[in-house]
Amino acid sequence: MKVLISDKMSEEGIQFLEEQGCFTVVNRPGLPPDELLQEVSDAAALIVRSKTKVIPAVIEAAPKLKVIGRAGAGVDNIDLETATRRGVVVMNTPGGNSVSAGEHAFALLMALARRIPFAHASMKSGLWNKSAFMGKELHGKTLGVLGIGKIGSVVAQRGVGFRMKVLAYDPFVSESYAEDLGVELCSMEDLLRQSDFISLHLPVNEKTQHLINKDTIALMKDGAFLINAARGALIDESDLIAALRDGKLTGAALDVFENEPNVNEELRGLDNVVLTPHIAGSTQEAQTKVGYGIAVQISDYLQNNLIVNAVNFPSISSQEQSNLDPYIKLGEKLGSFLGQISEIRISEIGLRYYGDLAQMNYKPLSNYILKAILTPILSEEINQVNSRKLAMDRGISVIETTSTRERSYSNLISVQLRSETETEWVEGAILHHGNLRLVSVDGIPAETQLGDNIVFIRNADQPGVIGHLGTTLGECNINIGSFILGRSPSHAHAVGVINTDTPVPDDVLKQIEQIPAVQFARVISLGT
């Protein structure tokens, strides 16, 4: 399998991939766009940092591509929608450079507070202008941190260490986590109004793009300082420039910009800004961590199907993978069984997990079941990565629930397909020695094995069906492995599930369909 590395990466990561013995590692940082399209055409994996732009054309040019790895946290240079639609996992290494990025953000804050870059430039020019560089102490000042994930938490901890009052806005962290950091959670508006220094550590999305603009700047303290070592698109640069010029803000320190590497010339010309060229994560330690980390993740996925730090698929630890593997096999068989017998226009897929499964990380399992359901129905290439999106694109809702209600079988999986008027339904469980069992169909008890070759029927509940079916298959030299006929007082029809040693040909299926009591018949293949 070919692994293409198109940005500079640590030698430790490259060496790890080469030592695996099963990868052809092509290390070509700085590829021009046309050469990138050529090199990626036969790659199973693409590893990038922030320079390579993984646009739709790159993904579409790579039919063998299974995974894109970002050696770092941000993935805004990767088209996630196209990758997900194509079933390509996108992974990052969110914690690898958090200390480096956090330290750099705090270094920018200190540089602003004490005007170090400006004093340095003055000294380099031969001046001794001591009175021109009056600074501010950090002790006792208020630091506002927008986003206290891994990097924001590093900045917050440094602020606490400097005896600053630290305010934080992050709707996704708990009060207890903030208390452990020694920071106070508050609304974004209160943070902006109270903070002397404001440091940004948020992702870019529809809600946060240009979060810092003339309206939010108006809420800030007069004379506040702004630091951004997260993403350039968080700030409307024209509004920031205006605030720096009119004195609303005393200064700003930026490591990221709206249009990298083409930095706004007006920003460059201001004498109250500190600018660095997107180097917050650029330390030897960080690059070793993220390079080696993404190499391990790529290897684990390509060799063991283990997904860690994926941004478009539920991540799963090796222990969780081991625990889920038997249920993934069961879920795939149930989903495939139901997908092959379904005749309704699906508007909703219902997945319910019972027993210990309800406490597990079942999201990856759901994706495998969705893949199995949709494979017989859709013409597109589908896998566990894009199955949920393909369902959504077709207006199919996916409802996942858990239940602690005791059932006759432990760790039960229930799968339902629903239309506006109809429901099709199967349930399954794992019995002793890992035996995958079908438990019910249409709510009718029908416990049997889930073999490779199955004939499924719905039939009128009347005498002679088993004998007639057995005779038909026997005359056609089809050996029956097991035969279960399920009945229920609440249903007008019965269901039959026949496991056969060999596949049932179409002409034999037609004979089965001619049996008077048979209302529906389908040959199902569950072989791998």
How confident is the model over 61-84, as pLDDT tens digits? 999 999 999 998 888 899 999 999
Which of these three, 441, 462, 482, is where a domain ends? Answer: 441
Contact between 400 and 351 under an 8 Å Cβ cutoff? The reply is yes
Of the candidates 497, 443, 489, the residue with the CA atom closest to the CA atom of residue 465: 497
| Cα–Cα distance for residue pair 495/461, rounded to 1 Å | 9
Rounded mean pLDDT of the chain?
93
CB atoms within 10 A of CB 308: 20
Enclosing domain of residue 160 = 98-275
Out of 69-83, 166-180, 235-249, 398-412, least confident range: 398-412
Of the candidates 59, 26, 70, 64, the residue with the CA atom closest to the CA atom of residue 295: 70
Considering the domain boundaries, does residue 243 fall inside one? yes
Out of 11-15, 249-253, 321-325, 380-384, least confident range: 380-384
| Cα–Cα distance for residue pair 52/36, rounded to 1 Å | 9
- For 316, the 3-state DSSP assignment is coil
Number of domains into which the chain is organized? 4
Confidence of residue 50 (pLDDT cuts 50, 70, 90): confident
What is the model's pLDDT at position 341? Answer: 93
Domain of 412, CATH number, reads 3.30.1330.90
Confidence of residue 33 (pLDDT cuts 50, 70, 90): very high
Locate 345 and state its tokens. Answer: 């226009």
Starting from the edge strand earliest in sequence, which strands make up the sheet with 518-525, in order?
A: 480-486, 493-500, 453-460, 518-525
Give the contacts of 505 (CB within 8 A, at least 6 positions apart). 476
Out of 10-14, 299-303, 313-317, 382-386, least confident range: 313-317
Locate 296 and state its tokens. Answer: 């391990």
pLDDT digits (tens, 9 = 90+) for 270-287: 999 999 999 998 898 998
Strand partners, 354: 403
pLDDT digits (tens, 9 = 90+) for 96-118: 889 999 999 999 999 999 999 99
Task: Compute the half-sphere exposure of residue 235: CA atoms within 13 Å on the CB side of its CA.
Answer: 30
Q: Work out the average pLDDT over 151-168.
A: 97
What is the model's pLDDT at position 361? Answer: 87
Contact between 294 and 331 under an 8 Å Cβ cutoff? The reply is no
**Whether residue 331 is found in the same domain as residue 412:** yes
Contact between 454 and 495 under an 8 Å Cβ cutoff? The reply is no
pLDDT digits (tens, 9 = 90+) for 469-489: 999 999 999 999 999 999 988
Helix or strand run (H / E) with residue 338: helix 318-341
What is the model's pLDDT at position 155? Answer: 97
Of the candidates 272, 157, 163, the residue with the CA atom closest to the CA atom of residue 223: 272
What is the model's pLDDT at position 272? Answer: 96
| Cα–Cα distance for residue pair 392/348, rounded to 1 Å | 10
pLDDT of 94 > 90? The answer is no
Q: Angle at Cα 43 formed by Cα 72 and Cα 260, nearest 5°?
A: 40
DSSP state of 46: E
Considering the domain boundaries, does residue 26 fall inside one? yes
Confidence of residue 409 (pLDDT cuts 50, 70, 90): confident
Q: Work out the average pLDDT over 148-177.
A: 93
Considering the domain boundaries, does residue 119 fall inside one? yes
Domain of 499, CATH number, reads 3.30.70.260
**Whether residue 387 is found in the same domain as residue 481:** no
Considering the domain boundaries, does residue 505 fall inside one? yes
pLDDT of 528 > 80? The answer is no
Phi, psi of 465 (to 5 degrees): -65, -45
**Whether residue 482 is found in the same domain as residue 367:** no
What is the model's pLDDT at position 327? Answer: 93
Percent of the chain with pLDDT over 90: 76
Phi, psi of 476 (to 5 degrees): -100, 15
Contact between 340 and 447 under an 8 Å Cβ cutoff? The reply is no
**Whether residue 388 is found in the same domain as residue 294:** no
What is the model's pLDDT at position 34? Answer: 93
**Whether residue 108 is found in the same domain as residue 236:** yes
The pTM is what?
0.68
**Whether residue 418 is found in the same domain as residue 467:** no
| Cα–Cα distance for residue pair 464/485, rounded to 1 Å | 12
pLDDT of 417 > 70? The answer is yes
Helix or strand run (H / E) with residue 427: strand 423-431
**Whether residue 91 is found in the same domain as residue 104:** no
**Whether residue 330 is found in the same domain as residue 394:** yes
Of the candidates 478, 480, 485, the residue with the CA atom closest to the CA atom of residue 518: 485
Which of these three, 387, 415, 441, is where a domain ends? Answer: 441
Considering the domain boundaries, does residue 309 fall inside one? no
**Whether residue 434 is found in the same domain as residue 453:** no
Distance in angstroms between the alpha carbons of the first and the last residue of the chain:
22
**Whether residue 392 is found in the same domain as residue 369:** yes
CA distances in angstroms from 440 to 202, 372, 417, 427, 454, listed in the order given: 48, 18, 14, 5, 15
The amino acid at residue 128 is W
Give the contacts of 125 (CB within 8 A, at least 6 positions apart). none
pLDDT of 187 > 70? The answer is yes
Considering the domain boundaries, does residue 280 fall inside one? no
Catalytic positions: 231, 260, 278
Helix or strand run (H / E) with residue 100: helix 98-114
CB atoms within 10 A of CB 127: 11
DSSP state of 505: P
What is the three-state SS of 258-278?
A: CCCCCCCHHHHHCCCEEECCC
**Whether residue 324 is found in the same domain as residue 432:** yes
Domain of 31, CATH number, reads 3.40.50.720
| Cα–Cα distance for residue pair 465/301, rounded to 1 Å | 48
| Cα–Cα distance for residue pair 238/231, rounded to 1 Å | 16
Which of these three, 407, 441, 475, is where a domain ends? Answer: 441
Strand partners, 438: 428, 448
| Long-range contacts, stretch 164-168, CB < 8 angstroms, 24+ apart | 164/138, 164/139, 164/140, 164/197, 165/140, 165/141, 166/142, 167/142, 167/143, 167/191, 167/194, 167/195, 168/144
**Whether residue 155 is found in the same domain as residue 242:** yes
Contact between 415 and 351 under an 8 Å Cβ cutoff? The reply is yes
Percent of the chain with pLDDT over 70: 100
Locate 490 and state its tokens. Answer: 């609440």
The amino acid at residue 508 is V
Considering the domain boundaries, does residue 247 fall inside one? yes
